[in-house]
Structure 1
Amino acid sequence: MILAVMLAAQGVTAPTALPAPMPTPGPAPAPTPATVRVALETTEGRIVIDLEKERAPITTANFLRYIDQKRLDGIGFYRTAKAGPRFGFIQFGVQNAPKRVLPAIKHEPTTMTGLKHIDGTLSIARYAPGTANGDFTIMVGDQPSLDANPAAPGDNQGYAAFGHVVEGMDVVHKIFDSPTSATLGEGVMKGQMIAPPILIKAARRVPVTAPKM
């Protein structure tokens, strides 16, 4: 009190108390990447695919199990379904091989994910909804007929799109144009089986590089 009176008499303002220092925040958690990228190293070249893990989490997680467990190493692109020079799809996968196939997954229709079967889209093959497991397709040209269509009769759930090619569409086109056997395959697949199949030497996750500024 005496010190305050003395300072006031000299025209000096008493110092105010400083606020307590704020605690230093810890490092911010690393953001979760919105995209997972994989590369298929085939005998015709490299195909790089971005997976839609946010919009199609079930189908993406299923595909990554096949990647991480190396279940796609050594299997083939075995089918090319052509409805025109650059219209159709190519198909690869485990073909229900007992030592490679994993349990079937819940169906994620395009009406749920907002994805579309456009040129370069990665999708999963199935019979009835909920039977998809380890066989996959890549679109050549836009394929809206493979999207879900609730207004259509019968099985109108379409197929589950879950990624798209970001590098290697030239390789996709090479595989699409591969020669096929006139006798292999059953039903609609007869005449669509690539002979010999185009092998996947390795299928791995790869880093997503930031775009250059």
Structure 2
Amino acid sequence: MKQWIVLVCMSVLWAQCGPSSNEEKDGHPRIVIETQYGDIEAELYPDKAPQSVAAFLRFVDSGFYQRSSFYRILNQDNQPMGSAPAELIQGGLWGTGNKREYLKGIPHENTQQTGLRHINGALSLARQDTGTANTEFFICIGDQPGFDFGGDNNGDGQGYAVFGQVTKGMDVVQKIYRRPEENQYFTPQVDIITVRRK
């Protein structure tokens, strides 16, 4: 009887002191992007894109995304004729006066390496040349295979680096996507209140 009581007590203590979130159980950190239109929740994949996730979480933990924004949109109507079509919303520190340009670039983890894809709701790092990505990220609207390795949306064929997936709040993503824009930029920008771990 005493052994049974001890086992029950130990189980209760383990439940209280042990892993308290899905993050600790499956190794996929969860984040929340708080915007003026509601929250977007996502899970990240450090097992597949370790350098991208580690850098993104450093930016999150440093508070870099407080008072940042979604500022750019690609849709079916705002891209040059003949270009590979794409749909996304892009956010980060661009235009905030932050020291983004002084941050170290993240080594590029392309989709051929990670096995991840630019599907609807994928989080990916925006970049110019390979290895220059840092705080800027985008969320795919619909599947965007042109952003994958070997796709048509990047001249070097390396594509972009997927590192996470929206798990809740695609309605918020769509609400942002429908905001007014001019020449691929939201008018006005959409406020990101903060990005935090869940």
Q: CA deviation digits over 1:86-106, x for unaligned, max 9?
A: x60000011275634221110
Bigger shift: residues 92-101 or 160-169: 92-101
SS at match of 2:73: strand
1:139 Cα offset (Å): 0.2
1:172 and 1:150 map into 2 onto residues whose CA distance is: 24
State, as a whole percentage, how many aligned pairs show the same letter: 40
1:154 Cα offset (Å): 5.1
Extract structure 1 runs of 4+ deviating beyond 3 A. 29-33, 96-100, 150-154
| Residue equivalent to 1:12 | none
* CA root-mean-square deviation: 2.4
1:96 and 1:153 map into 2 onto residues whose CA distance is: 23
Larger helix fraction of residues: 2
The yes-or-no answer on 1:203 pairing with 2:156 is: no
Q: Which amino acid aligns with 2:117?
A: K
| Residue equivalent to 1:128 | 129
2:135 and 2:154 map into 1 onto residues whose CA distance is: 27
The yes-or-no answer on 1:83 pairing with 2:82 is: no
| Residue equivalent to 2:39 | 46
| Residue equivalent to 2:94 | 95
Larger radius of gyration: 1
1:36 Cα offset (Å): 0.4
| Residue equivalent to 1:157 | 158
Are the structure 2 counterparts of residues 148 and 69 from structure 1 closer, same or farther at C-alpha, using a change threshold of 3 Å? Answer: same
1:37 and 1:198 map into 2 onto residues whose CA distance is: 22
Q: Which amino acid aligns with 1:126?
A: R
SS at match of 2:88: strand
Q: Which amino acid aligns with 2:159?
A: G
1:127 Cα offset (Å): 0.5
1:153 and 1:108 map into 2 onto residues whose CA distance is: 14
Q: Does structure 2 retain, via aligned residues, the 8 Å contact 1:96–1:134?
A: no
- The aligned length equals 168
Bigger shift: residues 132-141 or 144-153: 144-153
1:168 and 1:161 map into 2 onto residues whose CA distance is: 18
| Residue equivalent to 1:110 | 111
SS at match of 1:142: coil
Q: Does structure 1 retain, via aligned residues, the 8 Å contact 2:124–2:163?
A: yes
Matches within 5 A, 1:45-84: 45-83=38-76
- Gap runs ≥5 in structure 2: 1-13, 78-85
Q: Which amino acid aligns with 1:60?
A: V
1:69 and 1:148 map into 2 onto residues whose CA distance is: 30
Q: CA deviation digits over 1:47-88, x for unaligned, max 9?
A: 00100111000000111011100100101000111027xx60
2:125 and 2:54 map into 1 onto residues whose CA distance is: 12
- Gap runs ≥5 in structure 1: 1-26, 182-190, 207-213
TM-score normalised over the length of structure 1: 0.73
SS at match of 2:51: helix
